[in-house]
Amino acid sequence: MLVSIEILKDAILFFRENDKIIIKREKYYPEFLISDEKNISEKIFEIEFPGIVEKGRKKIKTVFGEIDGYYIKTMPQSFFKISSLVEKYFNYYLVDFYNVDIRLSLRYLSENKLNYYDYKKGIPDFSGLKIIKFKRDNTGYEYNGKYISLRDYLKIMDIVMEEDPDILIMDDIDTILPNWIYDSKNRNVEFYMGRIPGWNLIRQKEYFSYGYTYHKELTYVPRGRSLIDPKTSFIYSEGGIFGVLASSSISSLDPSYASRSTPGTLISSMEVSKALRNGIAVPYHKSRPEKEKSLEMLIKSDKGGLVYQASPGIYWKVSELDFTSMYPSIIVKKNLSLETVNSDCEKCEIVPEIGYKVNMEKRGFLSYALEDFLDLRIKIKKLKKKIKDLEGIDKAFKWMLVTSFGYTGYRNAKFGSIEVHESINAYARDIIIKTKDIVEKHGIDVISIIVDSLWVYGFLDENIVDEIEKETELPIELSGKYYWMKILPLKGEQYLGSPGRYIAYNIDGEYKIRGIMLRRHDTPEFIKEFQTEALELLKNVKNKEDVEKIDLNKIFFKYKEMLENRDVNPEKLLLEKRINKYPWEYLVNTPTKQILDEYYKKNLLLYPSEHVKYIIYSERPLKATSDYQNVDYSIPYYLKLLRDAYEEVKIRY
């Protein structure tokens, strides 16, 4: 089982066999490719940089077909420097570059058709791995009953060397490790946690995505083994260690990098790996701009998924229909890819509503790249109820597949195209309307539609589900039957229901909850406890007649009295907010701005994407502080929060 790979002067591979680590070294000379669109042969052969091993002519296979070009092989440690110099050298000629900005370990695995870890019957198997976890407390770590102070990092190194794990899991290690490395250098002592001395770096960066600014600090990871910090890993928080490992194997990224990557990076890496495994060159800069459109066509094509908003209120006996990975399924089923949409073709399919032509004569790369992954996710989703470890893998794969759609419209996506993005949306709208028509044909009214799912009146029959699946050719499931569902209004819109704010009580005795205070990370613990207790009482409601049998007011007044008597621990009233700007960028003196100013006066600068906690001690004007032990909380402010929380869970006929 391949557990790790390092590309230094050679490719160093670490295999675990019979509980022992076997190390293999192989020569590796990565190459990048240059198109010959400007007849640059003389210039190519004039290039001489230290680190170049070989260069020559080569046919370059792209998703659109073969083109003439050249290759330049280099020493691994010189690859990125040389490719950058050559790009500058040819800037005037505007030639296309391929296979440039790809992590070398991913390249090696893909080009040699290797994978991290094993697969059995299509299900990831990690039973051969050695994984150890250090438990974190306020002043140190604990392992196997032994306590290690944060100052005794050399003891941690000794334990790691003795245990020789493949995966290390340590909370807060991304924050702590730079201090250890800095201290070890000052003391002139050797400190490392990998199988090879030294550290790999994940560089500090700041980026903007979906309306938020994100900041990632410089991160160190060991060589030859993986280090995971659950506190900084979205994939770990969603899918646990099995989610991280499965994502790693699918994307050909080491778990250290996979755990610190976004789902978009993981799916993009998987597509790049698929291309390299099939000898397809990966473009360095995307060079296919969006085609010109008339205003009429822009209005038709520039739409998202279909949303049918219900009126706010209580609905009794409700079923939910949910397409499994609808958008990726459309990509695969409809052969959507940048080289198939709006290409010349004799055998074409016309995209509904917008009229784009899709070439059905040849397999599109994007459709091919996602097919096996999609099939695996569908298989895992069916098995996760029987096999507990698959729950985390399913969640991780779900997020990757969700972003596979978004990446088709991303301007820097290697294999993206806005026309593909628009086609997926058009097919999705057509499919959901067909589904609605089938349901209504059986005399069942639709309550709400949210892109790839429908809420309908009554407890549906599986025969209707089978009919929908046959008609749409996409996998769909009856994902829930609910005694009741409460749809909450849009903020500021009393008579319009919010698609993303509802409470639904399943006949299995579980809730499906979206958008209420209980689900929000910035809600004080006290308010969450109130809604949790209220929802527990509401489990006694299974029909209209049961509403009169419960008394939510009793719970509300209990919590109200606790607030008014100041019987609430201030820690339970802390609000947590995500920072989206630097202190000087705020135009309004919000509570978050006040807390950032507090920190700034103490010479502490918090970055976008970090979180702050504070308490409100004045409602008019609104004032906040992080020093919650030395102020009295604002009773009017928290009473208002409590009333809002009560309105969210209160049910009537």
Q: What's the first-to-final CA gap in the chain, in angstroms?
A: 60
- Cα four-point dihedral sign 49, 51, 54, 55: negative
Helix or strand holding residue 511 (H, E): strand 511-514
The answer to whether residue 177 is domain-embedded is: yes
Lowest-pLDDT range, 73-82, 88-97, 186-195, 236-245?
Answer: 88-97
The answer to whether residue 375 is domain-embedded is: no
Question: What confidence category does residue 4 fall into, taking pLDDT thresholds of 50, 70 and 90?
Answer: very high
Question: What confidence category does residue 587 fall into, taking pLDDT thresholds of 50, 70 and 90?
Answer: confident
**CA 517, 520, 525: angle at the middle one, nearest 5?**
70
Q: What is the mean pLDDT of residues 340-348?
A: 90
What DSSP line would sit under 80-105, residue for residue? HHHHHHHHHHTGGGT--EES-SS-HH
Q: How many beta carbons lie within 10 A of that of residue 391, not counting itself?
A: 17
* pLDDT, position 36: 85
Contact 106, 252 (CB under 8 A): yes
Dihedral angle over CA of 344, 346, 351, 353, nearest 10: 90
The answer to whether residue 64 is domain-embedded is: yes
**395, 414, 150: which is closest to 280 by C-alpha?**
414
Q: What is the mean pLDDT of residues 28-49?
A: 87
User: For residue range 417-450, what is the model confidence (pLDDT) as tens digits?
Assistant: 899 999 999 999 999 999 999 999 999 999 999 9
Dihedral angle over CA of 514, 520, 525, 526, nearest 10: -60
Contact 432, 416 (CB under 8 A): no
pLDDT greater than 90 at residue 526: yes
**Domain limits for position 273:** 114-277
**Percentage of the chain modeled with pLDDT above 70:** 97
Tokens of 349: 């399919």
pLDDT greater than 80 at residue 207: no
Domain holding 612: CATH number? 1.10.132.60
The answer to whether residue 462 is domain-embedded is: yes
Within this chain, do residues 42 and 144 fall inside the same structural domain, yes or no?
no
Within this chain, do residues 55 and 81 fall inside the same structural domain, yes or no?
yes
* pLDDT, position 138: 81
The whole-angstrom distance between residue 36's C-alpha and the CA centroid of its chain comes to 38
Q: Give me the phi and psi of 233, to 5 degrees please.
A: -110, 115
* pLDDT, position 120: 62
Q: What is the DSSP letter of 261?
A: S
Q: How many domains does the chain have?
A: 4
Choose one of 79, 102, 125: the last residue of a domain.
102
Dihedral angle over CA of 516, 520, 523, 526, nearest 10: 70
Contact 528, 519 (CB under 8 A): no
User: For residue range 115-152, what is the model confidence (pLDDT) as tens digits?
Assistant: 887 766 677 888 889 999 999 988 899 999 899 999 99
Within this chain, do residues 264 and 359 fall inside the same structural domain, yes or no?
no
* pLDDT, position 388: 84
* pLDDT, position 569: 95
* pLDDT, position 78: 95
Within this chain, do residues 269 and 329 fall inside the same structural domain, yes or no?
no
DSSP-derived 3-state class of residue 586 = coil
d(CA 116, CA 472): 36
d(CA 301, CA 324): 24
Q: What is the DSSP letter of 1?
A: -
449 forms bridges with which residues in the sheet? 308, 454
pLDDT greater than 80 at residue 238: yes
Q: Average model confidence (pLDDT) for the chain?
A: 91
pLDDT greater than 80 at residue 554: yes
Lowest-pLDDT range, 39-53, 255-269, 633-647?
Answer: 39-53
Q: What is the mean pLDDT of residues 80-90?
A: 91
SS (H, E, C) 351-417: CCCCCCEEECCCCCHHHHHHHHHHHHHHHHHHHCCCCCCHHHHHHHHHHHHHHHHHHHHCCCCCCCC
Domain holding 39: CATH number? 3.30.342.10
CA distances from 421 to 250, 295, 331, 351, 366 (A): 23, 18, 9, 12, 12
* pLDDT, position 215: 63
What global pTM score does this model have? Answer: 0.88
Q: What is the CA radius of gyration of the chain?
A: 28
The answer to whether residue 329 is domain-embedded is: yes
Q: What is the mean pLDDT of residues 5-18?
A: 94
Within this chain, do residues 614 and 554 fall inside the same structural domain, yes or no?
yes
Contact 172, 231 (CB under 8 A): yes
Tokens of 279: 């000898």
Within this chain, do residues 335 and 479 fall inside the same structural domain, yes or no?
yes
* pLDDT, position 212: 60
Within this chain, do residues 425 and 570 fall inside the same structural domain, yes or no?
no
**382, 176, 401: which is closest to 268 by C-alpha?**
401
Domain holding 326: CATH number? 3.90.1600.10
* pLDDT, position 408: 85
Lowest-pLDDT range, 170-174, 195-199, 291-295?
Answer: 291-295
pLDDT greater than 90 at residue 76: yes
Within this chain, do residues 119 and 13 fall inside the same structural domain, yes or no?
no
Within this chain, do residues 134 and 57 fall inside the same structural domain, yes or no?
no
Question: What confidence category does residue 30 fall into, taking pLDDT thresholds of 50, 70 and 90?
Answer: very high
d(CA 354, CA 649): 42
pLDDT greater than 70 at residue 109: yes
Q: What is the mean pLDDT of residues 549-554?
A: 93
Within this chain, do residues 192 and 148 fall inside the same structural domain, yes or no?
yes
Q: What is the mean pLDDT of residues 286-299?
A: 79
Tokens of 522: 């910035």
The answer to whether residue 382 is domain-embedded is: no
Contact 237, 244 (CB under 8 A): no
Tokens of 353: 């509503």
* pLDDT, position 191: 96
Within this chain, do residues 229 and 265 fall inside the same structural domain, yes or no?
yes
Angle between helix axes 390-406 and 263-277 (nearest 10 degrees) is 80
- Continuous H helices in 259-308: 263-277, 295-301
Q: What is the mean pLDDT of residues 185-204?
A: 93
The answer to whether residue 389 is domain-embedded is: no
d(CA 235, CA 397): 10
pLDDT greater than 60 at residue 210: no
User: For residue range 348-394, what is the model confidence (pLDDT) as tens digits?
Assistant: 999 999 999 999 999 999 999 999 999 999 889 888 888 888 999 99
125 forms bridges with which residues in the sheet? 118
CA distances from 633 to 73, 525, 616, 625, 639 (A): 66, 14, 6, 10, 11
Helix or strand holding residue 300 (H, E): helix 295-301
d(CA 438, CA 453): 14
Within this chain, do residues 455 and 477 fall inside the same structural domain, yes or no?
yes
**CA 589, 592, 597: angle at the middle one, nearest 5?**
75
Contact 405, 452 (CB under 8 A): no
pLDDT greater than 90 at residue 177: yes
What is the biggest distance separating any 2 CA atoms in the chain, rounded to whole angstroms? 88
512 forms bridges with which residues in the sheet? 504
d(CA 477, CA 468): 10
Q: What is the DSSP letter of 294?
A: -
Helix or strand holding residue 67 (H, E): strand 65-74
DSSP-derived 3-state class of residue 509 = coil
Q: What is the mean pLDDT of residues 38-54?
A: 86
The answer to whether residue 403 is domain-embedded is: no
